[in-house]
Structure 1
Amino acid sequence: MITYNTINVAMPKIRRRDNSAWVKRVAASYGRKVGDVAYIFCDDEEILRVNRQYLQHDYYTDIITFDYDEDDVISGDLFISLDTVRTNAEQLGVSYEQELNRVIIHGILHLCGINDKGPGEREIMEAAENKALAMRETRA
């Protein structure tokens, strides 16, 4: 089950049913099923609190993914700072909706086993994001 929650922000304008179907298609393309995935949309202060408390990182970020996968079933909590998504969209010159979709699927790709911190991994993640975003556009 995919759930959508908020802390300190209004729920973004996303079509939950379409988003959930897209997430399931992307996961299936990696041979995974979707278990319990919780999207928690929040503000910068909440994501900073989570980052400090659970990861001992003292900085803002767009998404934090807590991975609870078991075998081929992806599960996790995905904290997304809508403040940072908006700032990143402005800096990248893309729409807020486009950047939000990228971050929404970024967390799912982490749950599917794709990393972005090591050498060459960022490029792999970007390619996976682009492939997943194309899957959304063809079925939306």
Structure 2
Amino acid sequence: MINYHYETEFQLKDEQSFSDWISRVISDEECSEGEINYIFCDDDYLLKINQDYLNHDTYTDIISFDYSVGKTLQGDVFISVERVKENSGKFNTDFDKELQRVMVHGILHYCGYKDKDSEDQKIMRSKEDHYISLMG
């Protein structure tokens, strides 16, 4: 089950279409869907999580906590809407596409994809692009 929580004014326009899309990503990656929570927040909210749980004192667009068991994906995906908006301008892309990128990025981490080195980053970006194209 995919749940959405809002710690900011932002709201997804059509939660069901996002849920259907994320469910398809999970299925296409040959995993099963457990409980996945998306928490949309602002920079300060996510900075505090970054400081308290990861000992990082930096802003970021996404932090995901993976509680998956085997191939059953479960976790909490925190997304800074402010950071996504800023990054969409920085990377000259549409806000909705950048939002989709971070949403699927968290799921791909749960599926086992990494992004620490350049080769892993290429694979991750390719997967993100593929799944974003399915969202339309």
Give the TM-score, by structure 2 length: 0.96
Q: Deviations over 1:46-75 (max 9, x none)?
A: 110000111111100000010000111100
What do residues 5-45 of structure 1 show as CA deviations (whole Å, max 9, x unaligned)? 012x1133331111111101101111101110000000000
> Residue 82 of structure 2 aligns to which amino acid in structure 1?
D
CA distance in 2, matches of 1:89, 1:17: 23
Secondary structure in structure 1 of the residue aligned to 2:112: coil
Number of residue pairs the alignment of both structures matches: 136
Question: C-alpha displacement at 1:120, in angstroms?
Answer: 1.2
What amino acid is the match of 2:46? I
Q: Distance in 1 between matches of 2:5 and 2:107?
A: 16
Mapped pair 1:51 → 2:61: no
Residues 99 and 77 (structure 1 numbering): CA distance in 2 closer, same or farther, change over 3 Å?
same
* Percentage of matched positions with identical amino acids: 38
Question: Which residue in 2 is equivalent to 1:79?
Answer: 78
> Is the 1:5–1:11 contact (alpha carbons within 8 Å) kept by the matching residues of 2?
no
Is contact 2:10–2:81 with CA below 8 Å preserved after alignment? no
* Aligned residue number for residue 16 of structure 1: 15
Shift of 1:135: 1.7
Q: Measure the CA separation in 2 of the matches of 1:108 and 1:73.
A: 11
Alignment of 1:47-126 (within 5 A): 47-126=46-125
Q: What is the CA–CA distance in structure 1 between the aligned matches of 2:118 and 2:88, rounded to whole Å? A: 25
- Rounded to whole Å, the distance in 2 between the matches of 1:93 and 1:103 is 15
Distance 1:5 1:64 in 2: 15
**3-state DSSP class of the match of 2:101?**
helix
Range with greater deviation from structure 2 (9-18 or 118-127): 9-18
User: How many Å apart are 1:119 and its aligned residue?
Assistant: 4.0
CA distance, structure 2, for counterparts of residue 95 and residue 134 of structure 1:
13
Structure 1 segments unaligned to the other structure (5+ residues): none
Give ranges in structure 2 of 5+ residues lacking alignment.
none
